[in-house]
Amino acid sequence: MGAAGIFRLRGVLVGTVAFQTYAGYLGVRLPGASLQTGDADFAQHYSVSSTVEDSLPPVIDILKSVDATFRAVPHRSDPHRITQFENAARYRVEFLTPNRGPDEYADHASPMPAFGGASAQPLRFLNFLIHEPVRTVMLHRSGVPVIVPSPERYAVHKLIVASRRQSDVNGTAKREKDLYQASLLIEALEATRRQEELAEVFAEAWGRGQSWRAAIQKGLSLLPEKRRAAAELSLGDALSSIGAELEGFTDAAVK
């Protein structure tokens, strides 16, 4: 996908495959259990896709050049649009875009002119995640250049989306993974003295309104007790580093 131009067209690799790059980017070790995934997700703003005046080759052709068993998966609400592709081993490639409109658009695929015939699934909070992404390298063979969310945005975003997962088996498993990755990154950012970057992003998310604050607080409350205390302490240290006081945040996290 990189060779085909996804990053040149300002696409961003998100999800656990992006998380896999943070060990090298931050210079830390991350537990193997946090790196496992069965899909690769790419995101792009619709405004970029509609104005860039360029496009990937047909996505199905790109994927079939890697694995001939890849096939298009019709969208559940818009069967004439494709946001996912799957191979025989059930590995999926999915395309996403921020949903900044009414909730009624959440179940419909968005056309993406730059995505080589693929559409994208609109998601809440994705605009926050892919704002100001970073360049790094995936540690495979001689290295694969990629663009991913900044680790501090990824950490805060995972706290938010964890709070919105459904309570079925699949949703619970994803929630646990979200929380695990968020806590690992918060700890890694503190260990690498990146508290200021974390504080700025956390303050931005907190300042976006009550629904964002509620999601962050719920995400923190879902962490196991020891990890919650460590995350709140790290966030408190981060906020102190820029002199921020956020009304309503836990006493343990604000100095």
Q: pLDDT digit string (tens) for 104-158?
A: 667 789 999 999 999 999 999 999 999 999 999 998 888 899 999 999 999 999 9
State the CB neighbour count (10 A cutoff) for residue 1.
19
Taking Cα atoms as reference points, which of 161, 186, 163, 154 lies closest to residue 253? 186
Per-chain mean pLDDT for the chain: 89
Which structure tokens are listed for 53? 């005046």
> What is the pLDDT, as a whole number, of residue 33?
66
Longest Cα–Cα distance of the chain, Å, equals: 56
> What is the pLDDT, as a whole number, of residue 105?
63
Find out whether 232 and 250 touch, Cβ atoms under 8 Å. Answer: yes
**pLDDT category, 253, cuts 50, 70, 90?**
very low
Q: pLDDT digit string (tens) for 30-68?
A: 887 667 888 999 999 999 999 998 999 999 999 999 999
The Cα–Cα gap between 56 and 213 comes to: 38
> What is the pLDDT, as a whole number, of residue 71?
97
In angstroms, the Cα distances linking 102 to 36, 79, 125, 175 are 33, 21, 13, 24
Taking Cα atoms as reference points, which of 133, 204, 60, 18 lies closest to residue 196? 204
Taking Cα atoms as reference points, which of 38, 94, 37, 35 lies closest to residue 63? 94
> What is the pLDDT, as a whole number, of residue 255?
41
State the CB neighbour count (10 A cutoff) for residue 243.
8
Write out the DSSP string of 193-249.
T-HHHHHHHHHHHHTT-HHHHHHHHHHHHHS-HHHHHHHHHHHHHHHHHTT---TTS
Q: Which residue has the tokens 């240290």?
A: 237
pTM tops 0.75: yes
